Amino acid sequence: MQALPIAILGAAGRMGTTLIRLIQADPARYTLSGALGIADDPSLGVDAGVVAGGQPCGVALSANIEEALAGARVAIDFTLPAATSAHLQACRTHGVALVLGTTGIDDDGLRVLGDTARELPIVYARNFSVGVTLLTALTRQAAARLDSDYDVEIIEAHHRGKRDAPSGTALALGEAVAQGRDVTLAEVADWSRHGDTGARQRGHIGFAVVRGGSIVGEHSVLFAADEERLELSHHAVDRSVFARGALRAARWLAQRPPGLYDMEHVLGLGVGD
């Protein structure tokens, strides 16, 4: 099978450079066809493999998305929400399938995402870890079987530089609990607690956020009843786990028709089980 040509959007970032190194390490399955940076990046024009700390690959870091997408079958995007709509439009114009891992996308951006998926295959996930995908599915199943006698708390921890809170993964876990209990997250989420908050409301989902150091990503879902506690958790120790999942999604997506998919589709899990 021919190596899959992939464009990396956000190629000079932490996820972008990790993806480039993994692509270079597996030339039988992947090839880097383009690398998009930001307009003021001093590394523009430098070989993307060198930018990623590896060997030259013959692809220069570019601020031109048209150039970055040329020749790609799939693009992988881990950038910022402000760029999402423009990247979606460019991928649609060029017919390049998209693996989207940007978190913090607002409602307008999500609407553009849904519209674009009618014409383009897209995998959108807040976390591309295979383990987190399974955690989300297990959380949904547990919530469907543990009623509101079980209080739910979601705890997440990330490095000091993470800008959105709660994390996209924590939100996805909250949505999984809400789906399992046939409610909407907005109805039952307790985003923060301070001062005299009163007793915990039955059926609500609490969120706690930790930011510090170089924590890659830790997520736990606690189901606490009077007589027992169930805790489901995942700890990432290296961000390459997310990059490997994104590449797995890219291979899967290259064979799919237009539509909006997630990692549960990639892994063949029954969404909503």
Catalytic residue chosen out of the listed positions 87, 94, 159, 162: 162
DSSP designation for 3: P
Amino acid in position 213? G
d(CA 228, CA 223): 8
Q: H or E segment at 179?
A: helix 168-180
Is 159 labeled as catalytic in the residue annotation? Answer: no
Query: Which whole-number Å values give the CA distances from 52 to 14, 22, 69, 141, in the listed order?
Result: 9, 10, 19, 40
Catalytic residue among 158, 219, 234, 265: 158
**CA separation, residue 192 to residues 102, 117, 154, 163, 207 (Å):** 24, 34, 11, 17, 7
Decide: residue 159, CB within 10 A, 0-12 exposed, 13-18 middle, 19+ buried. Answer: middle
- For 187, the token pair is 């109805």
Strand order in the sheet with 30-36: 61-62, 30-36, 4-9, 74-77, 97-100, 121-124, 259-261
Q: Is 234 considered catalytic here?
A: no
Q: Name the residues annotated as catalytic.
A: 158, 162
